[in-house]
């Protein structure tokens, strides 16, 4: 399966993107490799990670903003 282009979406302050990288057969479930990024409101990259997740499971990414007064929680599920 070919790699897809990143799917970007707006956050309250900044934006995030998710990209499907590849899939593989795990021992029990199919595993998906994803690339996840988060940028702040100035466009500076604040998170850049590659994760592998079993089909049907969740990945949660969080970060604080405004000196810890608020933040973003990004939850992803692969179905």
Residue 1 lies in a domain: no
Residue 2 lies in a domain: no
Residue 18 lies in a domain: yes
Q: Which residues pair with 25 in a beta bridge?
A: 30
Domain count, the chain: 1
pTM here is 0.78
CA distance 40 to 23: 29
For residue 42, what are its two tokens? Answer: 């100035």
How high is the pLDDT of residue 28? 80
Res. 3 pLDDT band, cuts 50 70 90: low
- Structural domain for 22, as ranges: 7-77
């Amino acid at each position: 399966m070919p790699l897809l282009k990143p799917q970007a979406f707006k956050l309250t302050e900044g934006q995030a993107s998710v990209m499907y990288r590849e899939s593989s057969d795990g021992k029990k479930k199919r595993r998906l490799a994803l690339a996840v990024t988060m940028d702040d409101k100035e466009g500076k990259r604040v998170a850049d990670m590659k994760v592998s997740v079993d089909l049907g499971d969740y990945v949660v990414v969080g970060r604080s903003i405004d000196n810890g007064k608020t933040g973003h929680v990004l939850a992803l599920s692969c179905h």
